[in-house]
Amino acid sequence: MKIGIVGLGLIGGSLGLDFRAAGHWVGGVSRQQATCDFAIAQGVADAAGSDFELLRDAEVVFVCTPLGVMQQTTQALIPFLKAETILTDVGSVKASVVESLEPLWPRFIGGHPMAGKEVAGIQAAQAHLFVDRPYVLTPSSNTPGDIKAVLIELIQTLGSKYYECSPAQHDRAVAWISHLPVMVSASLIAACQQEPETSSLALAQALASSGFRDTSRVGGGNSELGRMMAQYNRDELLRSIQFYRQSLGQIEMAIEQNRWDDLETFLSQTHQDRTNFVD
């Protein structure tokens, strides 16, 4: 199959490695010549350049740019596509992306391969990045029935776990498990840093250990990505923050009112509930 990848970063680059390893032809498009050279040298793509002309024969094209430029990139891309070409994206939010891309191309389906790494860029691309990771497709009522099967086969090539839901369901779920944690975790760092006593702040910084490290990790991550999550999944994120405030309020009230048994019951429940989310 001839596969196009627009945007050669961590996700686009890793997709290229796996698709080529599976015997597909991969054409990569990036505005940076250095990225294209790197992609060829590392086996990410069979051909790479800044010209969409490269994807003239592509049967499936993955848009792998940052969320903020997906619409304009796709607008520039579509004059070069064959009418049969399947278009998909890898954005980490789906309702707003599907809303902006679907009208541009009839054979579009939204997607989200959920394999993040701490580092970004094609230098971080790696084979097998998506193995055992979720890959969500978000067909809408407008999605042509035949294109899903093509993508599912490619997703199986990656070794990913396939999920399917509406764009709205996707965004609600990732608000909970990805976007809310970033804001909760960033608030922790910001709160600690607000300690007005210099000596107490210095001692806290010196004593911080694995508990603080883990809880603060995603809140100390890529700020541009954090902004995009919020900007493109605003309503679901705000909704999840509302629920979060209630939970924090329950804990705070229990402590204020010295209801220690209630607090322990609450924490027993979270201990148990966590196993529904992660091992």
Site for a copy of itself in 132-151 (CB under 8 A): 133-134, 136
Residue 41 vs 207, nearer CB to a copy of itself: 207
Q: CA 242 → CA 111, 180, 184, 254, 271, distances in Å?
A: 27, 10, 12, 19, 22
Q: Does 152 bind a copy of itself (CB under 8 A)?
A: no
Secondary structure letter of residue 261 according to DSSP: H
- Mask for 72-111, x = binds a copy of itself (CB under 8 A): ----------------------------------------
Exposed / middle / buried, residue 240 (Cβ in 10 Å: 0-12, 13-18, 19+): buried
Instruction: Find the part of the chain contacting a copy of itself (CB under 8 A) among 85-93, 99-107, 145-153, 193-201.
Output: 193-201
Distance in Å, CB of 118 to a copy of itself, minimum: 10
In the range 246-265, which residues lie near a copy of itself by CB under 8 A? 246-248, 250-252, 254-256, 258, 260, 263-265
Distance in Å, CB of 159 to a copy of itself, minimum: 15
Instruction: Find the part of the chain contacting a copy of itself (CB under 8 A) among 7-15, 29-37, 38-46, 164-172.
Output: 164-172
Which position among 22, 114, 120, 150 is part of the footprint of a copy of itself (CB under 8 A)? 114
Residue 158 vs 218, nearer CB to a copy of itself: 218
- Kind and range of the H or E run holding 156: helix 146-158
Q: CA 118 → CA 57, 124, 186, 210, 218, distances in Å?
A: 34, 9, 16, 17, 9
* Encoded tokens for 98: 């599907």
Distance in Å, CB of 91 to a copy of itself, minimum: 15
In the range 220-249, which residues lie near a copy of itself by CB under 8 A? 220-224, 226-227, 230-231, 234, 237-238, 240-241, 243-248
Exposed / middle / buried, residue 119 (Cβ in 10 Å: 0-12, 13-18, 19+): exposed
Q: How many Cβ atoms from other residues are within 10 Å of residue 38's Cβ?
A: 21
In the range 16-45, which residues lie near a copy of itself by CB under 8 A? none
Instruction: Find the part of the chain contacting a copy of itself (CB under 8 A) among 6-14, 70-78, 80-88, 129-137.
Output: 129-137
Please give the radius of gyration of the chain, using alpha carbons only, rounded to the nearest integer. Answer: 22
Cβ-contact 254, 263 below 8 angstroms = yes
Instruction: Find the part of the chain contacting a copy of itself (CB under 8 A) among 11-19, 45-53, 73-81, 184-192.
Output: 184-192
Which position among 33, 50, 75, 269 is part of the footprint of a copy of itself (CB under 8 A)? 269
Q: Does 174 bind a copy of itself (CB under 8 A)?
A: yes
